[in-house]
Amino acid sequence: MNNKEKEYLDYKEGEKKVSSTTYFEAAAQYNNTFAEKHNVSALMVFTTREELIGNAGDLQQSLPFRNIGLAGRLTYAFDNRYFIEGNFGYNGSERFSSRERYGFFPFGWCRLSDFE
């Protein structure tokens, strides 16, 4: 039997790309009102992701791709008239050099209201 007789429906095995992705996310939330006029809330979110690609064709593309992040928010309200909020993100990736791998991204906000 020659090679042509063994082919089934002209099947030819193509390029194979083997990959896997892992993703994890966790969150914690807090909310409390005390002394009837003070409202405090907080939120923290942690995420991580890893992607592995085998048979990618070269070493650079076959390296693991990992991201990690932490984000948070803290809010305070007094008597539903004065509001302060702060947010942050702290994110990192292995794709950057070790000195520039992580970044901190803060944000703040304040509002005064005369709602009765």
Q: Which has the higher per-residue pLDDT, 97 or 17? A: 97
Closest CA to 109 of 89, 87, 77: 87
**pTM of whole model > 0.75?**
no
Read off the pLDDT of each residue in 8-30 and give the average, rounded to a whole number: 83
Using one digit for the tens of pLDDT, what is the confidence trace for 31-90? 999 999 999 999 999 999 999 887 777 777 777 889 999 999 999 999 888 899 999 999
